[in-house]
Amino acid sequence: MSIIIRDAVSADIDTIHGFILALAEYERLAHAVKADRDMLQRYLFGTRPMAEVLIAEQDGKAVGFALFFHNFSTFEGRPGLYLEDLFVLPEARGAGAGKALLAGLARLAIERDCARLEWSVLDWNAPSIAFYRSIGARALDEWTVQRLDGAALQALAMRHQP
């Protein structure tokens, strides 16, 4: 029952979409999912990919995924990896897939000379927070996430146009 971590390929699009829907359900955000297979295909495997995905397989079956992309630290002067989503099917939890996905990301970060690996977690998700602490992750309590989207994003984009 070993876990294998591999890069996602275009043929994994249905699996990735399914994991996103399952994650949204777990996070009580199913109503917020707008991503469809075509969008994912374009942004993950198109001419200019915007993110990457690792797939965790156990006994030949996909049991989890990690979707990530590069960011950049001006203070470090080096890139980083930002983990947007990590999800393991409930029936596969506890077998090491989540830890294997994070270890795979850590290896990629080191191979790519990244200064760090970062992610966010919902404050009510105690099992995930405990898991992250168990692998040595620390909370950055002095930082809060800010978001600009929808009408506010559009309005700001329209200001100060050249």
Q: What is the pLDDT of residues 42-92, one digit of tens each?
A: 999 999 999 999 999 999 999 999 999 999 999 999 999 999 999 999 999
Can you give the pLDDT at residue 1? 65
Q: Is the pLDDT of residue 27 over 80?
A: yes
Whole-number Å distance between alpha carbons of 102 and 131: 11
Task: Note down the domain range covering 55.
Answer: 3-158
Whole-number Å distance between alpha carbons of 6 and 24: 23
Domain count, the chain: 1
Q: Is 132 a catalytic residue?
A: yes
Q: Is the pLDDT of residue 162 over 90?
A: no
DSSP per residue, 15-56: HHHHHHHHHHHHTT-GGG----HHHHHHHHHSSS---EEEEE
Burial zone of 36 (CB within 10 Å; 0-12 exposed, 13-18 middle, 19+ buried): exposed
pLDDT digits (tens, 9 = 90+) for 98-146: 999 999 999 999 999 999 999 999 899 999 999 999 999 999 999 988 9
pTM above 0.85, yes or no: yes
Whole-number Å distance between alpha carbons of 129 and 137: 9
Instruction: Tell me what the mean pLDDT of segment 13-31 comes to.
Output: 96
Whole-number Å distance between alpha carbons of 114 and 99: 19
Instruction: Tell me what the mean pLDDT of segment 151-157 comes to.
Output: 92
Q: Is the pLDDT of residue 161 over 80?
A: no
Q: Which of 26, 43, 82, 132 is the catalytic position?
A: 132
Whole-number Å distance between alpha carbons of 51 and 69: 5
Instruction: Tell me what the mean pLDDT of segment 18-33 comes to.
Output: 96
E strand or H helix that includes residue 61:
strand 61-73
CATH number at residue 62: 3.40.630.30
Q: Is the pLDDT of residue 160 over 90?
A: no
CA distances to 13, 22, 55, 122, 152 from 29, in Å: 20, 10, 22, 11, 21
